[in-house]
Structure 1
Amino acid sequence: MQYVMVILAPTMILFIVLVIFYNNTVKLRNFVQNAWAQIDVQLKRRADLIPNLVETVKAYAAHEKETFEQVTRARAEALQAQSIEQRQQAENQLSGALKSLFAVAEAYPELKASDNFSKLQQDLSDTENKIAYSRQFYNDTAMKYNTKIQTFPGNVLAGVMGFQFISYFEAVQASEREAVQVRF
């Protein structure tokens, strides 16, 4: 009977440790997926604001067709991106296109004075802040998850249990590392 307890006790302890590790890692992975969904919501909100912004600027600057097409194309690519890496690249292009659109708007004082444009500008600024917060939350959550699967005993168990490294949502371009300026 003593021999059975000597074998059974460590086996039960190991089993409990494995269950706790697995459950905690699944929770962290789910937090990461939820954090990504929150980024996605804010990026969609930004994408929804862009057509109204473009139309408002078009009314004042009809001859800036290339800029409008660039913004529209970048928005479409951002909406079609599937992976985190594709989404990062597409969103960086969209941010660059928006900067061009705002540069066009700078040349039109009557546009800057427009209530509709001011409201869209404020909405976009608020959304950019929410995107920044969501990115930070996602990256913090991904870091916790990645740390769990890369430190002992996680580094031994994670591969066996199917847990893989999750990429961070990073600003890829140097210009993207700076906040989008939406001052008018």
Structure 2
Amino acid sequence: MVGWIKPAVFIACVAPFGLLVYGAFSAGLGPDPAETLMLVTGEWALRFLLLTLAVTPLRKLSHWQWPIRFRRMLGLFAFFYACVHLVTFGQFFIGWNGGRALEEVVKRPYITVGVMAWLLLLPLALTSTRGMQRRLGRNWRRLHQLVYPALVFACVHLAWQVRSDYGEALVYCLLAGGLLLFRLWPRIRARA
């Protein structure tokens, strides 16, 4: 069953990027293509991060084992879209100027937490292989708990840059809060 699902999931994960590339070449990204690229890639990075963290609750609640096979792919796509988001910022907003990048990170808190989220995802992507999992042993699991603060930083990054309509940011934050609570609930109950 998983054999045909994996390519389908991969194609679904690549589709938003394909649509962006098509929009870029067909002048379909609106009046400010750079802003559209920033917005869409940031949203997809957060969506894939949420989907990655939703795999374990889905497995536990449904008792299906097969969703766990897609967690790594979803996590790597979260990192991919976060990288495209960062590259878009570097290319169109700061022109790869190191001094300006540092100034933006220091001056704008929403950029600071966005960069922190990306920095936390970087070691997760670099250690996502089975070989690294074997090499790191139990430390691999500890390292990959960085996904939780990365999710918090990503949500704060989104919420701090919203200027008027907080509805979408609130939905993402509530979903993130629910997923984090699902992870923390057994520890809360054990302490109680």
TM over 0.5: no
More helix per residue: 1 or 2? 2
Q: TM-score, normalised by structure 1?
A: 0.30
Greater radius of gyration (CA)? 1
User: RCO higher in 1 or 2 (8 Å CA, sep ≥ 6)?
Assistant: 1
**TM-score normalised over the length of structure 2:** 0.29
